[in-house]
């Protein structure tokens, strides 16, 4: 059944209803928009509106002031306190922040400051600079405790190695003994050479023995013996005293020997032996055994050492013997094929020995000091001769 043109259907009625509703809604929105703009606070335009809009004016001025200050990089005291509170809360311990408790986080109370005192907050740039400076300082510091003292020691050793020269001693009218007291022995020696004065002799006790050194048996030892005369006119010799020193000049063995025959000449002026010294001396066989045990496998130094070994009735490998009387450089210095120990000590060591009665301990110390003075050169010559000898033997063994 069709409706007439003048009668609208239900569909048309609904359509017209919603159109009217939309129009009404748009109209209400247009009316509400000016009201919202009016509700937004604005600065007063006239003098009469100042009292009515005082609160809105305060808010606008405060917001504008804070924006300007933040733009200029300046913060007020109150802003600093608020920032300090926020940083203290954020830097709390991780265990406190991560705890599962659902309580509100407490802010750290700010302690009121005294009058005139300003709150100093560490800037981020300052903390970065301090951290960088600390890392630089750590890199500059020595990695171990040994590095610092080592440099210092090296500097001291360079100063100590500085020795006086002839240019330093430009004057020539000062007593060398006075220079020795003030500038040291080396400076005095230079002055004596310039003046043509013979060097001052040193005391044997201080120049032949190293006082603070090891006092036991070393791989190198020096030996000396004193003898007395027996038989008609005391022409025959027997052992009266044996002394051994280590490489530092420390005495390791010193014994008087009981004579096996009647002594006809004690030779006290040279040997220093008196009847009471050897009356209760050690048995000669015991001394021979003890000395042989010490010398075994060691380098033995002596002056005309063949005489000492002969009187002891001992033998020793030639490769382990160092005889200061037979050393060629010493012979050239003394200008003699058989220089005495007294002459060598005077010319080489500048030490006076055997001024009166001899001492086997002092003579052994002097012999050892002569050896240690040229030990490197002496041993190098022996090694070189040994190598040459071995090479010659190899050439001889090669078949032609």
Residues 139, 149: Cα–Cα separation, whole Å: 17
**Is 330 within 8 Å of 324 (Cβ atoms)?**
yes
Residues 218, 343: Cα–Cα separation, whole Å: 27
Question: What pLDDT score does 69 carry?
Answer: 56
**Could you tell me which residues come within 8 angstroms of residue 54 by beta carbon, excluding any fewer than 6 positions away?**
none
Residue with tokens 């400051």: 113
Q: Is 304 left (phi over 0), alpha (psi -120 to 50) or beta?
A: left
Along the chain (400 residues), what's the average pLDDT of each consecutive run of 10 residues?
62 84 84 61 57 67 65 51 52 46 45 44 51 58 46 42 68 69 72 65 68 93 96 92 96 96 93 93 96 97 96 95 96 93 91 88 95 94 91 76
pTM of the shown model: 0.51
**Is 360 within 8 Å of 209 (Cβ atoms)?**
no
Question: How far lies 328's CA from each of 325, 351, 373, 385, in Å?
Answer: 8, 20, 14, 14
**Could you tell me which residues come within 8 angstroms of residue 216 by beta carbon, excluding any fewer than 6 positions away?**
246, 250, 252
Which domains, from first to last, does the chain contain?
A: 220-392 (3.30.420.10)
**Could you tell me which residues come within 8 angstroms of residue 251 by beta carbon, excluding any fewer than 6 positions away?**
243, 244, 245, 361, 364, 365
């Amino acid at each position: 059944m069709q409706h007439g043109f003048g009668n609208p259907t239900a569909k048309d009625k609904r359509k017209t209803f919603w159109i009217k509703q939309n129009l009404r809604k748009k109209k209400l929105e247009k009316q509400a928009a000016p009201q919202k703009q009016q509700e937004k606070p604005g600065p007063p335009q006239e003098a009469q509106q100042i009292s009515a809009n005082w609160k809105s004016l305060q808010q606008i001025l405060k917001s504008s002031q804070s924006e300007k200050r933040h733009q200029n990089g300046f913060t007020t005291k109150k802003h600093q306190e608020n920032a300090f509170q926020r940083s203290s809360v954020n830097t709390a311990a991780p265990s406190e922040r991560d705890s599962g408790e659902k309580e509100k986080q407490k802010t750290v109370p700010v302690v009121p400051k005294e009058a005139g005192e300003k709150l100093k907050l560490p800037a981020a740039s300052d903390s970065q600079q301090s951290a960088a400076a600390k890392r630089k300082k750590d890199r500059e510091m020595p990695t171990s405790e040994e590095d610092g003292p080592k440099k210092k020691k090296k500097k001291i050793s360079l100063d100590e190695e500085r020795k006086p020269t002839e240019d330093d001693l430009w004057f020539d009218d000062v007593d060398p003994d006075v220079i020795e007291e003030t500038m040291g022995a080396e400076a005095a020696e230079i002055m004596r050479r310039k003046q043509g004065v013979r060097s001052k002799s040193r005391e044997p006790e201080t120049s032949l023995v190293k006082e603070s050194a090891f006092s036991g048996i070393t791989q190198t030892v020096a030996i000396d013996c004193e003898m007395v005369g027996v038989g008609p006119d005391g022409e025959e010799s027997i052992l009266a005293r044996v002394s051994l020193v280590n490489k530092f000049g420390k005495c390791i063995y010193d014994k008087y020997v009981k004579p096996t025959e009647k002594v006809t000449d004690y030779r006290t002026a040279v040997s220093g032996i008196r009847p009471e010294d050897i009356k209760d001396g050690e048995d000669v066989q015991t001394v021979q055994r003890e000395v042989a045990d010490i010398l075994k496998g060691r380098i033995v130094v002596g002056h005309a050492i063949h005489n000492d070994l002969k009187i002891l009735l001992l033998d020793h490998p030639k490769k382990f013997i160092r005889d200061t009387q037979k050393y060629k450089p010493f012979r050239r210095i003394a200008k003699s094929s058989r220089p005495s120990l007294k002459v060598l000590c005077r010319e080489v060591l500048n030490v006076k020995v055997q001024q009166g009665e001899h001492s086997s301990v002092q003579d052994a110390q002097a012999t050892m000091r002569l050896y240690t003075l040229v030990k490197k050169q002496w041993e190098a010559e022996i090694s070189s001769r040994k190598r040459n000898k071995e090479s010659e033997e190899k050439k001889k063994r090669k078949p032609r």
